[in-house]
Amino acid sequence: MIWVSWRRQRPQLITLLAVLVVGAGAVVLLRSNMVDTINSLQLNGCVTRVGPECLEGGRAADFQEVWTTRLNLGQAAILALPALIGVFIGAPLFARELEQGTHVLAFTQSVSRTRWMSSKLVVALAPALVVLIALQSLVSWWLSAAGLLGPRSSGSFHFLNFGIEHASPVAHALFAFALGTFVGVVSRRTLVAMTVTLSAFTVVRFALSDVVGRLVPTQRLEVAAGESLAESRGGNLAVESGWLDAAGQRVSTDRADALAQACKTTAAGVRRTQEEWLACLPRSGLAKQYATFVPEGHAWQVHLVDASIFGGLAVLLLAGTAWVLRRQS
């Protein structure tokens, strides 16, 4: 059964091998050229720390002007791979069989439907995940050589950095693949399955991006009016911010904006100074500012939640695929 599945999946497997070879060769070549550029510009020390010497003569800016776009394209390729796996491997896997009617032959053999489905899933999914993990590791290796001169200076929670690290790409690929197989067995049309899979994956991927960060423990910072909340920013993941009254209760955004605006002028319409404005805020009910955030060092927790959500959805979709297939005639 695995041999038959391999024969049916041979074009996709050959394409995956070509993607791996070309992608690996491109990353190795680009990384080598980039390291040569870093050495020639004498920016080796700027890879791990940012100091005044990195700004001398605009050397760091010259490097980033040439390499930032290329590094971002490498990240974008890893972000796109899960969607491509779902569209071009997951969606046609069963949809083509059902559309062409070749599933009838498989169903009349001595092999059970569960074994037939399992063999096709393994032969299609395993090589795709191997290619994804290999390319993800290579791109991370490339980014590491750039260090703080590259995109990683934006922090772990930047969407390009977050989407290609840890288990998130694999979980996204599993979800996209399972989504494609499920839509394929339901629609029984290859083109429809590919189109719906791409659209649904994109919507779910971005819809859950804001939810994931709210499902992990956060830290809270409270400061007096006029003080800086910079400690909650930087590479941290901002979850919420706003104003508190004297009792420590959250003030709604509309009311806080109205009170802050009212404090800018006196009852006679005279504009207050910055000091007078800050003194007015607590009297009007805006006692403190607050921010809740996930520290950058806890990014692994967000990745774990992200992988759990998309992995769980993948399991449910694969179970749905099996349920629908068992009832196909």
Q: Tell me the mean pLDDT in the region 33-42.
A: 89
* Each residue's pLDDT tens digit, 220-268: 888 887 777 777 677 788 888 888 888 888 888 888 888 888 888 877 7
DSSP three-state, residue 295: coil
Strands 219-224 and 250-251: unpaired
Distance CA 32, CA 180 (A): 37
Token pair for residue 317? 């979709």
* Each residue's pLDDT tens digit, 208-222: 887 887 788 888 888
pLDDT at 98: 77
pLDDT at 137: 95
Entry pTM: 0.85
8 A C-beta contact, residue 294 and residue 158: no
* Each residue's pLDDT tens digit, 178-200: 999 999 999 989 999 999 999 99
Distance CA 19, CA 90 (A): 17
Question: Which range has the top average pLDDT, 21-30, 117-126, 265-274, 297-306?
Answer: 21-30
Question: Residue 29 — left, alpha, or beta (φ > 0 → left; ψ -120 to 50 → alpha)?
Answer: alpha
* Nearest residue to 67 via CA among 189, 169, 150, 175: 150
Token pair for residue 250? 């959250």
Strand partners for 292: 220, 240
Distance CA 35, CA 43 (A): 10
Q: Residue 1: is its pLDDT beyond 50?
A: no
